[in-house]
Structures are given as structure tokens and as C-alpha cells.
Structure 1
Amino acid sequence: MSTESLTQEISARFSDIASDAPLIADCVSICQNYSLTPEDLQYKWEAHNFRPSATRSEISPYTADSLTTLKLQIQRERATKSALPREPRTSLVASLGGFRNRNLGSRANVPAHVKLEPAADGFSMTGIAGPSKVAFHGPSTDANARKKRAYRYMLEKPSERGDVLDDRIDEFAGRIRAHYDLSDLGDPSASTTDNITVVGRIIQDDDAAESAKLVEGAIALECSRAMGYGARVALRFDWDLKIRGGPQGSGSTTFFPGAIVALRGKNGGGGYFQVSEILTLPPLLPSTLSAKQDPSDPFSVFIASGPYTPDADLGFRPWRTLISKIKETKPMVVLLLGPFIDALHPLIKSGEVDSTPLNLFRTRFADPLSKYLDLVPGSVALIIPSPRDMISNHAVFPQCEFSADAARGDPRIHLLPNPVCFALNGITFAATSVDTLFHLKKGEFVRRGEEVNAMPAMMGDSGTDPMANVCRHLLQQRSFYPIFPVPLELAAEVALDVTHSSGLRLGGGDEDKNDASESAPDVLIVPSRLRQFSKTVYGTMALNPSFVSKAAYMILDVAGRESDGKPRLSARMEKIPAKGE
């Protein structure tokens, strides 16, 4: 068949990409190089893009990324077939029967228009013979969205960083003005006789300080260029400081480097701003997505975070015990957060490993997960990387997802960016693998004051204990990582890309300014070396599953909904039994 004929037939069969000339050209090249007809390519691509986690006949969009992974799969199939010894010829009926029994099982639950192919790398189609009981909705997987998440880094310009930092202050200034019905905001560097309200970023006033922890007398406020010409002004606090709009019963507020704050006071010309009142940031609105969904069957989510092996060895014994527990309890969702192959592990740093990071990830994680998903049809696995993961080619934060070949192209294993917002049966989740809570605690400074117009706790909230307060900062600051700069002693754990910090927005998309982007998640997952906990803050369940290397994980049970439409969630803190228990 000529190139022109191939192009016309492929365009007819793939009408969704008919206008994408480069992608059509790639399809033509694959057909010519591997002696495929356009019909064969259609069947293979449909089977490759078949997603069982939504509806039974759902086919993911055709993209350049999925075509690339399909091409790799075809190459592996050809290489495997050429390496196998020839078998005696058998009858056609016997061949078809053996093929069905060995590889496919029953075809009853498979869409009729999908031509099933023998899978490479040991991936069996048996485990995806039916739709998932859990509908997963995550970040867009089209080529443009992936390219945006896999941005080029180490190219930041100081002017771009400054613009992003200023925009964040100005955004919160508008939010503060509307929430407290203020007519105007002032400049803290200008001398005034009357009290004014100012908005800015908390920074450490003492540039020579070696620690990131804020202390009395060394706290300053940095303004945006639009509101105060970028001035930095030292802060002093009245002895009778007022705290307006804070959680009832706290009697204090917390500052940390990078926090956006609203303060009331005046600059009397002494070179500092005298703070008489602190205006608490308004919280995110409760989630509205889950209330619109129909009730669903109960399901459970296994939540575990790396490191997955202790510093003494690379045997991954806690993880192997945990995967056995997962096979025993059969949850519908397995959520794993990195690091998986930790670049900071002592044995990896010293080079005492005899396998590549990718092979380690596949043999320790991807392959066991695929076998589990075969065992429990309809279940899904979610993978969130860490900046410390050696198999990631994106070592900054925010971070794009692993490449598709890390999980051998298994469509039941969803590779997600870090951080990420997603939904399971309409219940919204927000998760990151970076230890934001510990970083925040390293620099926080607590200032007590008198409560004014305090906000009563919502039903079920955990109050104002230290762990709940740390999680409250993330919801108020609307960021997975509101700290700036990264604490010097923890800089090896996360390389923050300020220019792309819109990807750290908590509560919605970075460009979407509608109400949905201002909704709090139903569940916030923040693994930390701090004590394992489950807290409810502003109606959001915040979970710290701790680390598998510390023999800890969590199970989240979802059991129907309340009368107001909110999901009924129950978190269990679990321990991995030691060998022999």
C-alpha cells in the first residue's frame, strides 16, 4: 500500500487525530516498518489505550505518548517472538483454543471492537476483564498537559521568580480585601499615624542566621512591588496582640518563612512595623464535587509512603510484607507515594547495588502490583513519585509523573505527578510525597494573642493541637509547599522550582479561577516523619501514613455518604508486623 493510501485510511480510522499531521505520519511509519495494515494498528492501539477503571468500553485519547509506548510494545513482541523456538504446527482450532485459555480467559466482559493481543513483559489481560468499581479521575493525560508538567528546569530567571512571588502576594491581597471587606491596603514601609492593613510574605530578618527557624526580633514582612515596591520591613508585636478570625480555642498564631499574612498596625518611623492585630487567612471552601455524585459502593484505599526499605539494606522486607497484606485484604485502590528507589539511601549513595534503578522499581513494585491487580479484577494502583526517586528524570518540585515504561505500560497502574489532586467515586483527594509538615515545623514561630471573632470548629474537626494546626496552614495558604525558601538543612530533599509553583496550588487547577479551584479536598495525604496521625481540619481529613520503612501505613475506608452528601470516611493507622509475628 502506498504512503498516500496509508495516510488516507489511517486518517479515516482515527478521525480524532486526522488534523494532527505529525502524528498521522508516525502512524504511517509504524505501519510500513512493521508490516501492519491500518486495521491492525487500530486494533493494537485500541487495546493499548483500553482503560478498565472507568466504563467497560472506554478508550483513552490517541496521543503521541501512547503511540510511542505502543511502538515499544510492538518491538518487544517482535523480539520475544523471534527469540522463541518454533513449535510444531497444530490445528487452527487447537491454536485458538490454547491462545484463549493461556492469555485471555473469557472474552465476555471485553468490548467487542477491541482486538486483544498477546501482551509483552508478562502483562496479562486476564486481570482487566471487567470495569472497576472505583471511578478514577485524575490529571489530564493528553500530550500538552504532560509536556506542561514535564517542564524544563534550571532555567529560572530572577525576574520570573520575582513575578511569581509577587503574584502570590497580590492574589492573597485581593482575597483578604474581599473576606474582611476592606476598602484598601497599605504600605508597611511608609510612616503613618493611623493603623493600616498590610499583606505580605514572612521572611527571616537576620540574613546571617544559620537556622531556618524564626525567632522573636528577627521576623520581617516582604511586600509585592505593586503594594510596597518590594520593601522588607521588620516586625514588632504589641503586648496585647489581637488574632482575628482564627480557630476558636487556639489563642495563638504561627509564622514560618514564606507564609502569606495579613497584619494591622502602623509604622511610626522607627524602621519597623508595629503589629497590633493579625487577620487570619480565610480557609478553602468545603468540597462541592463529592456532594454532586450519586452514592457508591463502599471501598477501601491502602495508603503507603516511602522509603520502603530501612537504611541498613535494600531487601525491601517491610514492602514485601505489606504487599502480602494487600493481597490478603484485597483493597480496590492501592496508593503508593515515593521515594521508591531512594537516591538518599546509604547503600545506593555508596554504589553497593547490582541492578539499575528501573529494574529495581519494576521487580520490587511494578511487577508485584500487576500480579495483585490480576488477582483482584477491577482494582487500581496509583503511583506518586518523589524528587528523591532515581527513576524520575524530573528532580524538581512540582514534579511530573514517571514515564509509562516504568510500569511496563500497565493501564491499571496510574502514574501521577507530585503533588496531585484526583477523585475516586467523586471523593476528592490531594496528595504529595514531600515532607512539607516537617519542613514547616522546622521554621515555625508561635505568637500568642487575644482571640477576636474566632471561627467555631466544624463538626468533627480535631481542634487546635499542633498536628492539626500544621495541616491548617496548607489549607489556608492554598499550597502543598507554602515555605520559601526551602530550609537549608533540608535542601537535599526537595529542589523547589518557584517559577512553576502554580503546580503546587492546593484546591484546584493553576489557571482555573472558578469556584471549583477554591474547594478543599475531602482527603489530604501528607506523609511525614512526624508522628502518624489522622486529623480533620475545616472538614478535610488530613492523613499522615508515615513511612513503610518505619513499618507504618494507613487504610482509608469509604462507606457511603451522610445525609448532606459528604462521604463517610474512616482512617485506620496500621503497623507492618515484624518477621515472625
Structure 2
Amino acid sequence: MATEALTQEICGRFPLIASDAPLLAECVSVCQNYALTAEDLQYKWEAHNFRPSAIRSEISPYTLESLATLKANIAREKAAASTTKKPQPRTSLVATINRSAFRNRVPGPKPAAATVHVKVEPTADGFGMEGIAGPSTVSFQGPSTTAAARKKRAYRYMHEKPSERGDVLDDRIDEFAERIREHYDLSELGDPSSTTEDITVVGRIIQDDDAAEDSSKLADGAIALESSRALANGARVSLRFDLNPKIRGCPQGSSSGVFFPGAIAALRGKNGGGGYFQVSEILTLPPLLPTPNAKADPDDPAFSVFIASGPYTTDQDLGFKPWRALIKKITEAKPAVVILLGPFVDALHPLIKSGDVDSPPLTLFHTRFIKPLREYMDTVPGSIALVVPSVRDLVSSHAVFPQCEFTADVARGDPRIHLLPNPATFTLGGITFAATSADVLFHLKKGEFIKRGEEVDATPAMADDSGTDAMANLCRHLLQQRSFYPVFPVPLELAAEVVLDVTHSDNLRLGGGEEDGAPESAPDVLIVPSRFKQFTKTVYGTTALNPSFVSKSAYLVLDVAASAGSEGARARLAPRVARIE
């Protein structure tokens, strides 16, 4: 087989190594040296890399190291076959004659041997993608897939050190302190525990354990501020508020400052001398703002997006009836993009918790989700699916948040199914999306404390802004705190939903700017599924979407108009809530 054709066949069999030139070249060399086809190499390598497990068997990643050991095994097999091959037993000449050739023998050409033509279809477990139709009709750009970026997302957890956690928490306070200093043109920030003069302080909101009656919620008189070591030696001071404090820079009409455990806050006041800080003014954090003159490509086509979030079945069974109804809706509407957020096979489902399930989690996921998605995309050429996991997913080997993407075997290597981390930032047709499967809105609301006051220098509402209703305010917190999950610590009764890894909270940064060097900016679309009733809101110019849960027969449709090249990206968006009837 020609080297070029062999290389292409190997790329088809191993799509994950197509971009790894040294590994691909070594695969070609092994096939040529040992007279193997790409299919032979696939079977041998899969058998060599197979790792059985009582929980979930898997195939280890294809690397140069595993190929080297496989090569050694093949060489030993070849050597053993050549030395132990037994000679064929001698038989009589009469026994070896093909008697049928002499019957009715007539002169003429020798008839061709009979052949049986067997049509070989790709197996359900194979990674071959021979049947895939052309590229996506919508341009997609996801998180970086370099080795360093993947390693950063797939970090080792349960190895946190208290010193590392403290450094990360302090760095976040110091970062916001510098941003607040510039935004409000402040000369310096003070220590809330040491001075009786009016000063501005920045720190993290925590619960005052000595005064709290309810361990899950902040309250007036049971709230404290924790400073960083650089600003105030890590001092913790209880807060007391004036009867009518000033609220500077708040959205027009809100007349309130909002706090929750883990929120970074900027306050002005003075130490009361009794071990508390008297707050006279609350400074609203500057939010992430949209990129000026948002990019628009005249070639960006119109397309539609279906957005759905798990759980995908009710607590009564594992029949996934709501999901089957949704995939039927998808098949009828033929959207170009399907965005699915976990949990898919939910570890908290009552039947799974009790062990009343017949199929392994990965098999259940392949049967219920991957198979119908493939069947849909086969009928709609150019369509793609984006899959974001949840920490509650049994098919994920990464059980903490932030969470890396599913491994390639989960999607059967289908390039039309893009596996994204949780949370994830990506672009579709020039539109920037940010999504997480964590129910951050419910966790925020759980500990929210609102302090009313007098508006000062209020921020006028942007065009099409949804105002200051409760759900819009929750989404506003995320843009102000620049985080997919600004809550700390996780509410105790909700700890099973989000196992937070503080040391790697850089992966929770909302707005980008770290990895690609671009300035921070708010996403065009923010997807935050929650148990709250589904909604679409516009906050600081960002379209915030809550598709709710498929188990509640809820999902969202986002229609994106074609770009004329002049209007901003957000002007193209038309979201609408939908129900599964």
C-alpha cells in the first residue's frame, strides 16, 4: 500500500493522532515493517491499550510509549510464529488431488474461483467515521486543544494544599482591589480592622459565624469581610451598615447592594472601635462589558441552536422519555447546532443510587445519547453537537469543578460531537458563548443578602436591558464578579452538586483574556441552566439564558440571523423558551 494512502487510512482509524506527526509517522512505519493494515494496527493497539475496570473499562490514550511496547509485542509474536511453525504433514498424492476438477472437464479457460462479497459496516464500537458528511455549516471555535491546555483542564484533584488555596483566594481579592482602585480613581485602600477614619476597603464577604443563626444565609448583623494578606494581613471584621447607606454605581432603579458568601465587595466606612466596620457606602463592582464594535463577518450565515440541560429523565425511571421527545423535536426542526449540558447519566438519580440499573453508565450514555445524536447528524449534513459535562455525570472521570471535558471514547471519536469542559467558552458563527452545567443561580440565591440604600451615580440601563428583577440580578452577579461560580464556600446542603476545587478556580474565569492575550469582555450569550423557571434576560448587553431541565420538559431555542457585516453580534440573537409537549 502506498505510504500516502496508508497514512490517510491510519488517520481515519485514529482521528485523535492525525495532528501528532511523530506518532503518525511511527504508525506508518510499524504497518510497513510488519505488513499490517491500518485495521490490523487498530485492533492490536486497542487490545494492547484496553484497561478493564470494575467501574468503567476504557482504552488508554494512544502515545509513542504505548506504540513502542506494542511494536515490541508484535516483533515477539512474529519471531515466535517463525520458530514454532510446524511443517505440514505429508499426505499421499491421491489424497491431495482435487477430483472435482476432472469431472465434465472441457477445454477452455480456467473458471475463476468463487468469491463471497461481504459488505463491512463500521461497528457500533468502532471509531471509524466513514459515513460522516462534510464539514459544519457553522464555524465553531472551542477551547484550546494543545497538550498544555488539556493538562490544565484535566488537573489532578484531591491534592490541594491549604497554602495554595489561601494564595488563590488572596490573589482574587488583590486583582479586584486594583480594578476597583482604577475604576473609582482611589489613591489607596485601607485596613478595616485598624483605623477610625473613613477609608475604602476591598475583601471577600463571609458569614460571621459568631452571630449567624442560619448557616446557609447571610443576614444583617451576621456578615463579615475578609481582607487579603497584602491589603490588611488577612483581617476578618464584622460589618454593620448605616440605616440608609449610599449605593454607588448600582444599576439605575435597584437602590441596593447585594452580597453572598464568596462575593468580592468594596465598602467605604470606618472602624467602629468595637471589633466591627461601620459601612456608610457600598461601591458596586464594574461589570464585564461587551467588546466595542463587536466583530461581524459578512459570511456568517443564519442558523438555529437548540439548548438543553440535564437531568434528561425523571426520578421515576431511566427511560429518558423527555429526552426522546426532545430528540424528536430536534429531528423535526433540524437546527445546525445542538448544545447539551449534563448531567446525562446522573449519579444522584434515585435508581442509580440504589443500583437498580442493568447497563453500565458508558453503555447507557452511548445508547441514549450518542446513537440518536449520530442518527440526527447523519440526516442533517453540516450539523454539530456540543456536549458539556456535569460533576454528577457517571461517565466522567473528573468529579470536581471546574471540570475537564469527557474523554474521546465517550463520543466514539465522532468529530461532529465536540466535547467541552465545564465551564466552557466558545464561538459559533461569530457569536461568543459561555456555558456551565452548574446551577450557580440557585446557589447564589441560597445565600443572597440585599441591603437597600440611596443611589449615587447610578449606572443607566443599556438598551434592551431586562432591568433589576431577581433573575436578571443573579446573572448580573456573574458579570460583576467575572466568574462562572463566585460562591465560596459551596452551600453545605448543595455540596453534592458542586465539588469546588478552589486551587484551580482560574478555570472559572468568565470573560477570557488569560489564555489568548485578548482583553476581557463579556460573552454575547451566557448559558446558566437552573431549577428556576426558564428565562431569557439581557444584562449589561449579554443575553443570559436559563433552559431549565429537560426532565421538566423545558429547553431553549436560539435563532441567529445572518450577519450583514454592520450590526453587532448581539443584534443577531433571537432567543425563545420552548416546551416539550
TM-score normalised by L of structure 2: 0.81
Distance across 2 between alignment mates of 1:128 and 1:33: 30
- 1:195 partnered with 2:198: yes
- 1:573 partnered with 2:570: no
8 Å contact kept, 2:138–2:428: yes
TM-superposed deviation, 1:137: 0.1
Aligned to 2:568, the other structure's residue is in SS state: coil
**Map 1:125-204 → 2, pairs under 5 A:** 125=129, 128-192=132-196, 194-204=197-207
8 Å contact kept, 2:244–2:452: no
In structure 1, the gaps of 5 or more residues are: 43-63, 75-86, 104-117
Distance 1:32 1:572, change over 3 A: farther
Aligned to 1:274, the other structure's residue is in SS state: strand
TM-superposed deviation, 1:325: 0.8
Aligned residue pairs total 504
| Counterpart amino acid of residue 449 in structure 1 | G
Which 10-residue stretch deviates more, 497-506 or 235-244?
A: 235-244
TM-superposed deviation, 1:512: 5.2
- 1:357 partnered with 2:358: no
Distance across 2 between alignment mates of 1:67 and 1:288: 44
Structure 2 residue aligned with 1:324: 328
Match of 1:420 among 394, 419, 424: 424
8 Å contact kept, 1:127–1:376: no
Identity of aligned residues (%): 69
Distance across 2 between alignment mates of 1:289 and 1:369: 36
Aligned to 1:476, the other structure's residue is in SS state: helix
Distance 1:30 1:224, change over 3 A: farther
TM-align CA RMSD? 3.0
**Map 1:268-287 → 2, pairs under 5 A:** 268-287=272-291
TM-superposed deviation, 1:312: 0.3
Structure 2 residue aligned with 1:79: none
Distance 1:357 1:556, change over 3 A: same
| Counterpart amino acid of residue 525 in structure 2 | V
Distance 1:489 1:30, change over 3 A: farther
Structure 1 residue aligned with 2:85: none
8 Å contact kept, 1:284–1:520: yes
Distance across 2 between alignment mates of 1:124 and 1:25: 20
Match of 2:224 among 216, 220, 226: 220
Aligned to 2:437, the other structure's residue is in SS state: coil
Aligned to 1:148, the other structure's residue is in SS state: helix
In structure 2, the gaps of 5 or more residues are: 11-16, 43-59, 71-112
- Per-residue displacement from partner, 1:120-149 (whole Å, max 9, x unpaired)? 637785763323210000011222221221
Structure 2 residue aligned with 1:58: none
8 Å contact kept, 1:153–1:396: yes
8 Å contact kept, 1:137–1:422: yes
8 Å contact kept, 2:297–2:563: no
Distance across 2 between alignment mates of 1:273 and 1:266: 6
Match of 1:380 among 374, 378, 384: 384
| Counterpart amino acid of residue 407 in structure 2 | S
Aligned to 1:531, the other structure's residue is in SS state: coil
TM-superposed deviation, 1:36: 4.4
Match of 1:551 among 544, 550, 553: 553
8 Å contact kept, 1:243–1:451: yes
Structure 1 residue aligned with 2:538: 536
Match of 1:89 among 91, 107, 115: 115
Structure 1 residue aligned with 2:312: 308
| Counterpart amino acid of residue 522 in structure 2 | A
Larger Rg: 2
TM-superposed deviation, 1:294: 3.0
TM-superposed deviation, 1:26: 6.7
Distance 1:404 1:16, change over 3 A: closer
Structure 1 residue aligned with 2:264: 260
- 1:238 partnered with 2:264: no
**Map 1:333-482 → 2, pairs under 5 A:** 333-482=337-486
Aligned to 1:461, the other structure's residue is in SS state: coil
Which 10-residue stretch deviates more, 441-450 or 126-135?
A: 126-135
Distance 1:242 1:354, change over 3 A: same
Structure 1 residue aligned with 2:106: none
Distance 1:264 1:163, change over 3 A: same
TM-score normalised by L of structure 1: 0.81
TM-superposed deviation, 1:352: 0.2
- Per-residue displacement from partner, 1:78-112 (whole Å, max 9, x unpaired)? xxxxxxxxx9626xxxx7xx97xx87xxxxxxxxx
- Per-residue displacement from partner, 1:467-523 (whole Å, max 9, x unpaired)? 0000000000000000000000000111000000000000005455541xx100000
8 Å contact kept, 2:314–2:320: yes
Distance across 2 between alignment mates of 1:160 and 1:259: 19
- Per-residue displacement from partner, 1:406-462 (whole Å, max 9, x unpaired)? 111111000100000000011000000000000000000010011101011100110
TM-superposed deviation, 1:386: 0.1
